[in-house]
Structure 1
Amino acid sequence: MDWSKLQTSLGGLNLSQAGTKLTKGFSSSVQATRERLGQIAPEEITELPQEYKDLEARVDALKAAHLALLKITKVYETETYDYPVHLQESITELSTSIGYNITSFAATNLKGTSLPTPASPSAPPVHPHKTLPHALSRASHAAAQALVDPEAGPVDGGDKLGKALALYATSWDRIASARLDQDDTINLNFLGPWQQTLHTSISLAIKARQAVRVSRLELDAAKQSLKTANPARQEQARLEVENAEDDLVQKTEVAITLMKTVLENPEPIKNINELVKAQLVYFSTAAEALSAVQGEIEELSVAAEGDYRKSRDH
C-alpha cells in the first residue's frame, strides 16, 4: 500500500470543518426536538422579523393557489378528460393494435420459411381522437348515415332529421378541432410556465426559508451551549453565538429578497391570461359553429312540425 498517497489524501480532507458541520447538525436536531417537546421556553427561541413571517404566509398562500389551480388544469394534459366511453373503446383498440402487430411480425419474419405467410397489413389501425366533441361528431355522422337507405335514399321521415344530424355533426367537427388546439395552447402557454414557477422560484424561496430555519436552530443551540459552557470554553462559545447570529441575519435577508421576488413576479398573471385566451378562443369557436347551423336546424324543425300537423289533419 502506498502510505504516502493515503497520507496525502487524508491531508486533503478538512476533518475539522466536517466535524463542525456534524456537530452543528446534531445540535440543531437536538434543539428542534427539545422545542417540539416543549422543553425550551418560548422566550429562548429567537424571534424572526415580522416582515419575514408576513412574507412566509404570503408565499405559502401563493404556493397553495398554484397547486389548487394546477390540480384541476392538469386535465388538459390528457386528451380523454371529457370522453364518455374511453375505457371500453381502449380495450377494443388494444385488441386491434395487438392483432395488427402480430400480423405485421408474422408477415415480416415468416418470409422464406415453409410456414404460411400472412399478407402484410396495409396500414396500422387509426386511433380516433378521444374527446367529447369528437365523440359527438362521430355519433352524429353515424346517426345521419343510419337514416339513409343505400338504395332508396332517406328512410321515411328521416330526410329532415338526417339533414339536422349532418349539420350538427359538421359543427362538432369544427369544435373538435378547436378543442385540440385549445389543449395544445394551454399546455404550452399556461401549464408549462405555471409549473415552472412552482418548481423554480417558489421552490427556491422555500429552500431559502428552510436554510433560515436551520440557521435559527443553530443559533439557539449555540446559545444553549453558551449557557452551560465552562469558563475555559466561554469565549469560544460566545464566538459561536456571534457567528450564528451573523449567519442567521444573512440567510434571513436572502430569504426575504427571494420571497419578495416571487410575490412580485408578474408571470403567474400572464399565465392566467394565456389560459383565459385559449379557453375564450375555444368557446367562441364552439358558439360560432353551433350558431352557424342552429338556424337551419330550426327551419328543419319548423318544417317537420308543419308536415306532422298536415298529416294529422287528413
Structure 2
Amino acid sequence: MGDFREWAAYGSSAVARGYRAPTLAAAMAQSLSHPVAIRRDSLRAAERRAADIVARVRPTDDSESKRKSVVAYVQKLIGVSLGSEVFPFGSVPLKTYLPDGDIDLTAFGSAAPDSTLISDVRCILEYEEQNSDAEFEVKDVQYINAEVRLVKCLIDNIIVDISFNQMGGLCTLCFLELVDRHIGKDHLFKRSIILIKAWCYYESRILGAHHGLISTYALETLVLYIFNLFHKTMDGPLAVLYRFLEYFSNFDWDNYCISLYGPVAIASLPDIVIEDTDIRSADLLLSQEFVKRSIKKFSLPLTESEKSSAKFCPKYLNIIDPLRENNNLGRSVSKG
C-alpha cells in the first residue's frame, strides 16, 4: 500500500538531487495496488458477499412505499394549507438511502425576510402532532436554526428534514442521477454509494453532517472521484470500496483539497490549481465537456450574499463541489 510519507521523503531527496518530484496526484494514482492482483476466484466470491450486504441495506419495496407515502402526506399537508410545493431530494429519490435513512424535503415559498413560511410549516406539523386522527404519527417537531434552516420531525418513525427554497439539493440530485446513467453497469455508482455509506455509517462512524461528520453529498463526491480515475478497473461495489479506502486512507488531507479531477494544494487557494494525475484525459470517466454541460444545466446563479463570500474556505476536510467550486463540501467536519 502506498504511503504519503514515503512519497514525501522521495520528493525531498529528489529535489536535493535536482530531479522534479512527482505530484501528489501522480504518486497516489501509481501507488495503488491493482484489485486484479487478488485471485480472480477470491475477488468474485468477495463481490458476491458484498452484493449480499448491499441487498440487505438497500431500499426495498416496503421502504420505498413507506417513504413515498410519508412524502405524499407532507406534500398534501403543506400544499393544502399554504399552497407551497414540496419536493424530495437527496438519498430517497436517488434510491441510495440506508434502512434508517432520513427523508430530505424542501418547501418552496416566499424567501422575503418577513416570510412566515418556516413558522407556518412548523405550526402545521405541531398541530398534526396533537391530532389523534392524523394519517401518520408525527413526533418531536423542532426548528433547527443552522446554516440551512430546517424543520425536523419524526413521521411514522422516519426522520424528516424540511428545508426551504433549496434548489441546490434538487440540482445535485439531477447531477448524480445523470452520472449514474453515464456509468451504467446496472447502477454500479448507486450500488457502490450504498456499500460505502454502510461502511462509513455502521463501521467507521464518520457519516452525518449534523454530528460534525462528513455529509452524504461530500461522500458521494469522493466516490465519484474514484470512479473518474479508476472506472476501468472496477466492475463491482467491493472493488470501488477497495479503491476508496486505499486511496483516501493515504491522502494528505492536511495539505490538499480534493476536486473531481485531482488534488488541489491548500496553499494555492483561493486559486483552484489541480495537480496532474498522470492519467490521460481520454482515460477519465467524465470529460471536461461533460462536467461543463452539467454545471450549465444544474448550477444556480450566486445570490448577493454568496457573491460576497465567493472564495473556497478551507476547513478540517476540504472537498470541492463539482457544480460550484467555491463550495467546500467538507465544511461540516469538525476537528477530531
TM-score (norm 1): 0.23
Q: Which has the higher helix share?
A: 1
Q: Which has the higher strand share?
A: 2
**RCO (CA 8 Å, sep 6+): is it higher in 1 or 2?**
1
